[in-house]
Each structure stands twice: as structure tokens, then as C-alpha cells.
């Protein structure tokens, strides 16, 4: 079995997300956290299954509607991502 983030319930769920991400890729910095929601994040933090506790949610206007996406915090003064501990 391959690695999967703890916030996914099964390898099948993770594989399904990765398959869909081929068609609508998340941005490279935020990865799967981009598709998270505040409610799901809270549940995963409570269950100690959230790898990126610093994720913040941003609401944007997209094509006349609204979109919410999770963003991992950036390291100070640089690029890349910061792993939450």
C-alpha cells in the first residue's frame, strides 16, 4: 500500500482524489489541503489526523460564484510550504 495523508479515510479515497487532481490540479504549494473545508479540518484536528494545522481558508470570487480553498502557511521570507507539527 502506498502512503496516504491521515486525513483520508482509505487508500481508495486518496487514490480517487489523486485521479481527480489530474483533471483539476491543486496548486503545488497547498496540495490536497486546497480542497479541505473548515468543518473537515476541525474534525481532523480533533481526531489528530490533520498534518497541516496551520491551513487557513480563503474565499474568492470565481466565475460569478464563490470558492473556498485551504492555504498552507508559507515559511517566513521564502517560498515553499511549512509542515505543521
- pLDDT per residue of the chain (85 residues) written in tens, 0 to 9: 578 999 999 999 999 999 999 998 888 889 999 999 999 999 999 999 999 999 999 999 989 999 999 999 987 765 544 444 3
d(CA 36, CA 69): 7
**CA 65 from centroid of its chain's CA atoms:** 21
**Residue 73 φ/ψ, nearest 5 degrees:** -65, 145
Q: In the prediction, which pLDDT does 1 show? A: 57
d(CA 46, CA 28): 26
Amino acid at each position: 500500500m502506498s502512503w496516504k495523508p491521515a486525513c483520508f479515510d482509505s487508500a481508495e479515497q486518496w487514490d480517487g482524489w489523486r485521479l481527480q487532481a489530474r483533471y483539476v490540479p491543486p496548486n503545488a504549494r497547498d496540495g490536497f489541503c486546497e480542497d479541505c473545508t473548515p468543518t473537515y479540518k476541525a474534525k481532523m484536528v480533533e481526531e489528530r489526523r490533520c498534518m497541516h494545522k496551520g491551513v487557513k481558508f480563503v474565499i474568492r470570487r470565481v466565475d460569478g460564484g464563490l470558492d473556498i480553498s485551504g492555504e498552507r502557511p508559507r515559511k517566513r521570507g521564502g517560498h515553499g510550504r511549512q509542515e505543521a507539527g
